[in-house]
Amino acid sequence: MKRQIMGIALFLFITGVAGQSIGANYSFTSLGSLGGNQSSPFDINNTGQIVGSSYDSSNGEYGFIYQNGTMSKIIPTDGIWSNLSSINDSGEAVGTSGILPAGNAHGFVYSGATFTDLGSLGGDRTYARGINSSGKIAGYSYNSSNNVRGYIYDNGTMTDLEDIMSSNRTYAFSINDSDMITGYTRVPEGTISAFVYQNGTMTYFDAFTERSTTGVKINNAGQVVGYGYDLSNNVHAFIYLDGVITDLGTLGGRYSYGYDINDRGQAVGMSQTSSEQTHAFIYEDDTMFDLNDLVTLPSGWILKDAMGINEYGDIIGNAISPEGNNIAYLLYNHEAHGDNPPDNGSSVPEPLTVLLFLPAVYSLRNRFMGYRK
């Protein structure tokens, strides 16, 4: 009898945990736009703030912060366009703004309604891509020789990674709370390689494909999610950790791209399906799932990709509206937040949660160990 009770308790625990990830009680929200017909999200923090870019009614492109149901335009006073690419839990956001003369761009950090220009490494273009909890920023900038250099920005100082990377083209995209940075660079052999940088040490990824790899995001466990090409121009999402690269596969098609990974090891991105459509995915427990199959959407909507995921499992991405427009969306994980989804037909049915995670009974030890950008 005790074994039966323990078995039932274990099953309920596992399916309960599963409900906080795939098969969670998600509700779908279209974030709308700044007045135009297109918007794209790039990052979501653990307080639910979302950053990205959107067109306005005059077809101008501007960065936005979305919170509490409102999308607000964010652009420096001297900017002619802008985008926001990353936001930490303190609400500090980084992005890039176009400035005159045309073609120039500067990275900036936005905090408390104040903009701080990051400057450059000597050239006329700087891009800010990631920010960690302590406010350190990773990105890339042109130097005076017109080479693209990765950098780390801390307390007003932009440091070129030149000393540890000899390439004339290095792009830094993401930084975690241990100041580990990922991106890609051209290695001496001439190929494109993803990397992890920390404390002056650069680690290039071992050959995952025959052509190139790109690291997109790095979580606080040091897992990198990204994608790699082969000579046939096929591309697959991967997860990298401690010298091991895991191919995430596809949703049945030829390609997939990994865009974000949270500290629980859940990865999100986009993949071609067997019917040659492009769909958003979530990957965990060694399996890639089509988000369009896990969430009941309003009629006519398709989740094209998933660009970000926070520690609650809330997911952001780009969706195609019934009118054919690209619109930012949010999948809010009600179960992880401890509340109930609205009865609007946009959440996952409870029976699906159990069916999807029956295999988890046999792999509890693998739960949340990752993935693997």
**70-74, 230-234, 294-298: which has the highest mean pLDDT?**
70-74
Residue 333 clears pLDDT 90, i.e. is over it: yes
CB-CB contact of 117 with 108 (8 Å): yes
Q: What is the DSSP string of 178-235?
A: T--EEEEEE-TTS-EEEEEEETTEEEEPP-SSSSEEEEEEE-TT--EEEEEE-TT--E
Mean pLDDT of 245-256: 95
pLDDT at 4: 46
Mean pLDDT of 69-77: 96
**Secondary structure of residue 5 in the 3-state scheme:** helix
95 forms beta bridges with 84, 108
d(CA 154, CA 144): 21
CB-CB contact of 96 with 84 (8 Å): no
d(CA 53, CA 55): 7
d(CA 281, CA 271): 7
Residue 122 clears pLDDT 90, i.e. is over it: yes
Bond from prior residue into 101 cis (ω within 30 degrees of 0): yes
Q: What is the reported pTM?
A: 0.85
pLDDT at 344: 43
E strands along 10-60, which residues?
26-32, 35-44, 50-56
Phi, psi of 300 (to 5 degrees): 90, -5
Cα separation values, 301 from 272, 328, 350, Å: 17, 11, 21
Q: Nearest-CA neighbor of 268 among 308, 216, 327?
A: 308
Q: What is the DSSP string of 263-305?
A: TT--EEEEEEETTS-EEEEEEETTEEEEHHHHS-PPTT-EE--
pLDDT at 165: 53
Note whether residue 253 is domain-resident. Answer: yes
Note whether residue 373 is domain-resident. Answer: no
d(CA 298, CA 240): 35
**Secondary structure of residue 11 in the 3-state scheme:** helix
Note whether residue 249 is domain-resident. Answer: yes
d(CA 150, CA 166): 11
- Tens digit of pLDDT for each residue in 79-93? 999 999 999 999 999
**Secondary structure of residue 161 in the 3-state scheme:** helix
pLDDT at 48: 97
What is the b/e burial string over 281-294, where b = at least 16 CB atoms within 10 angstroms of the residue's CB? bbbbbeebbbbbeb
Note whether residue 372 is domain-resident. Answer: no
First to last CA, the chain: 46
H runs (alpha helix) in the chain:
2-18, 291-294, 334-337, 350-357
pLDDT at 354: 29
Phi, psi of 274 (to 5 degrees): -65, -20
pLDDT at 189: 65
Give the pLDDT band of residue 161 (cuts 50, 70, 90).
confident
Q: Nearest-CA neighbor of 283 among 171, 180, 371?
A: 371
Angle between helices 2-18 and 350-357 (to 10 degrees): 110
Note whether residue 40 is domain-resident. Answer: yes
Which residue range(s) make up the domain with 122? 2-366
CB-CB contact of 34 with 71 (8 Å): yes
Give me the chain's average pLDDT, please: 85
Give the pLDDT band of residue 242 (cuts 50, 70, 90).
very high
Q: Identify the residue with better confidence: 173 or 349.
A: 173
Mean pLDDT of 303-329: 98
Tokens 């995921």 belong to 309
Indicate the number of domains in the chain.
1
The whole-angstrom distance between residue 69's C-alpha and the CA centroid of its chain comes to: 21
Note whether residue 371 is domain-resident. Answer: no
- Tens digit of pLDDT for each residue in 163-175? 555 567 899 999 9
pLDDT at 356: 33
- Tens digit of pLDDT for each residue in 172-208? 999 999 999 999 988 766 678 999 999 888 888 865 5
CATH number for the domain including 111? Answer: 2.120.10.30
- Tens digit of pLDDT for each residue in 138-160? 999 999 999 999 999 999 999 98
Note whether residue 206 is domain-resident. Answer: yes
Tokens 């002619």 belong to 80
- Tens digit of pLDDT for each residue in 8-43? 443 333 334 443 455 568 999 999 999 999 999 999
H/E stretch holding 87 reads strand 81-87
